Structure 1
């Protein structure tokens, strides 16, 4: 797996609100750039989604991908466990309390695809662009 693509944004909202937006995986399509829809398959004892099937669309591809979701101290990690076009993918959101009511949200993602001929630089560029759009959408949702 290659180095993660990392992007961050400062959000004018406290960490719990930011994590709440990210954890709303039933509505991932509101803020995840490539997500067209999401269906939760399992929840943990706190009611948070732990397994989701996301219909992803980018360029001319549309595919369903299954992700396991884990939660840590101010983190949400999505790990792809089944997909046709994705060989491996991990996305981790980490929220940092800036001490003034704002949150610095970092998104780190790695991905390997099964599509032949996709250059690494192209995939990294697309992942970076997607991360920036996703972070801006999370910011808008958390601040709104």
Structure 2
């Protein structure tokens, strides 16, 4: 079962650099859906940013470890699932847009295809809820 693409955005009272710093704090599981139980960095680039992470996810009665490759662009961070028992495909992309006056519009887009039977509406609802929690956490940290 795959989700429809979920797109959420938030305006943050902080410059792009500070927002991206909060996004890149991938060891802090508050960045993830409430289903995230733990995260560990497996590799970093020459700037010290995570390039491979493993996240332990648990929802309903399912628990799985998911390995994500992390790539960086100009004002963006993308996480692509490369290995997970219950997830066939998952991509989470953050793009930060400078709104001027030390304000940033952060857009999060995510997709997921799972290998377990769940209703599409349930997956879409969970993905939307996770995206909103995730953005609220990033906003709080970047503005704090």
TM-score in terms of structure 1 length: 0.93
TM-score in terms of structure 2 length: 0.93
> 2-side partners of 1:142 and 1:3: how far apart?
28
> 2-side partners of 1:103 and 1:36: how far apart?
29
Query: Is 1:125 matched with 2:125?
Result: yes
Unaligned runs of 5+ in 1: none
Write the mapping of 1:7-18 to structure 2, written as runs, cut at 5 A. 7-18=8-19
Q: CA deviation at 1:58?
A: 2.1
Write the mapping of 1:1-144 to structure 2, written as runs, cut at 5 A. 3-27=4-28, 29-33=29-33, 34-116=35-117, 118-144=118-144
Deviations 1:70-94 (A, max 9, x none): 0001100000000011110000001
Q: CA deviation at 1:2?
A: 5.5
Unaligned runs of 5+ in 2: none
Q: Which portions of structure 1, spanning 4 or more consecutive aligned residues, are displaced by more than 4 angstroms?
A: none
Count of residue pairs the alignment pairs up: 142
